[in-house]
Structure 1
Amino acid sequence: MMDPLNGMLLEHLARYYFAVEHAEGRILDLACGTGYGSKIIAKAQKSVLQEIVAVDNDEASLKYAAAKHYHPLIQYKRMDAEDEELPAKLGTFDVIISFETLEHLSNEKIFMNNIYSMLKPGGILIMSTPFGAGRGKETNEPFHVHQLTEAEFIALFADYQEQHFYYQRSVLVEPKREGKHYPFGIAVCKK
């Protein structure tokens, strides 16, 4: 229902289109919201996908997703990203995508442990977050617990065998260029 020229919508779409090239096998879209990103990936990669499990904790968003962004390869499920039993409930995945989730969570450690447990060896994690003043510091966003610094974000992925970091300004996603300000970071990591 958003205006197609809405900057926030365009930023979110850009992240999902960025993730398309990594999408194959069994995928988890953790904190999928209204499901448009899962559908983008399902349509673009249907020949190489087993399934997409699209998880969110908001029932209204999932009802909207199932009605407006149905695709036979997508299963929408209501679950909590900070539930320690999530890996036992969902199993393992070739690719895990989680965009704009970290800043909403009070228990980042459980969330990150869940992701690592659910990612198959050799699997790919694609995660983004806005940068801010740091862990435990106030933000201007009413629904954000905090916004990590770039260094805090990068440190989350030390256990992965490969780590690549990209940065986003508006719809542009690129490797970091010196002297440029980037409000969002995107990690692409291989377990």
Structure 2
Amino acid sequence: MEWTGERIIPKLLKPTNGMLLEHLARYYFATPYVRGRVLDIACGSGYGCHMIAKDRKRELTELVGVDNDAEALAYANREYNHQKVTYRQADALDPKLPEELGVFDAILSFETLEHVADDQLFMDNLYRLLKPGGTLVVSTPFGRGRGMPTSEPFHVHQLTPEEFHELCGRFDRVEMFYQRGPTFEREPRTGVRYFIGIAVCTKA
């Protein structure tokens, strides 16, 4: 199994794996915001879609998991099939994506921004994909900033906290959280380094 980019495959990892715990925590964090028609963009192996569908089966009408990797989607269909989940192959930067997928009550996008060359276009797509009154839950690792090199081989760049917050500025309400391991805090504590930011953005 050789997929491009970074992929979390829970069945191949120990339950105590730190990266796995961080990724699972983000999906658990997002569950209260899930309702109606939901999009998980860059869904990877599909474990998160399955988690959300099981946890929010009463609130959820449909969950669309999108990824650009056909092999990852084949794995998702095989290992994480659910009657309310549909997996589709698409490019997150495709300007036609909103016309092809329609609009959603909630959108989840975890650890995607650092992989796309044009984060502004990506956020434009997410804004257009979100219904008025809808909620976007988006996360990204912090780093040296847009256009700066990173030690992660699959990352185009890693935004600063200020750049991440600015990128979410078009939304009517933004709540920023800081992730450290599997835990989240509203306000960064002095002397603590936070590697991941997660924003909950509401569109009026």
Aligned with 2:74 (options 27, 40, 63):
63
Structure 1: how far apart are the matches of 2:61 and 2:34?
10
TM-score (norm 1): 0.98
Runs of 4+ in 1 over 4 A off after TM superposition: none
CA distance in 2 between counterparts of 1:134 and 1:128 reads: 15
- Alignment equivalent of 1:144, drawn from 155, 158, 161: 155
Report the Cα distance in structure 1 between the residues aligned to 2:124 and 2:179, rounded to whole angstroms.
25
Where does structure 1 lack aligned partners over 5 or more consecutive residues?
A: none
Paired with 1:139 and 1:120, the residues of 2 have a C-alpha distance of: 34
Structure 2's unaligned 5+ residue stretches are 1-11
Conservation of the 8 A alpha-carbon contact between 2:53 and 2:85: yes
- For the residues of structure 1 that align with 2:173 and 2:118, how far apart are their CA atoms? 24
How many residue pairs match? The answer is: 191
**Paired position in structure 2 for 1:182:** 194
Alignment of 1:87 with 2:89, yes or no, is no
Q: Does structure 1 conserve the Cα–Cα contact (< 8 Å) formed by 2:178 and 2:197?
A: yes
Q: RMSD over aligned Cα, in angstroms?
A: 0.7
Give the alignment of 1:27-176 within 5 angstroms: 27-176=38-187
1:177 CA drift (Å): 3.0
For residues 57-112 of structure 1, give each alpha carbon's deviation from its aligned partner in whole angstroms, at most 9, with x where no partner exists: 01111111111111100000000001010000000000000000000001212211
Q: Does 1:13 align with 2:37?
A: no
Percent of matched pairs sharing the same residue:
52
The superposition leaves residues 102-141 of structure 1 with CA deviations (integer Å, 9 ceiling, x where unpaired) of: 0000121221110000100010000000000000000010
For residue 5 of structure 1, report the CA deviation from its aligned partner: 1.3
- Correspondence 1:23 to 2:34: yes
Distance in 1 separating the partners of 2:126 and 2:101: 11
Q: After superposition, what is the alpha-carbon deviation per residue over 1:1-43, rounded to whole angstroms, capped at 9, x for unaligned?
A: 1221111111000000000011110000000010111111100
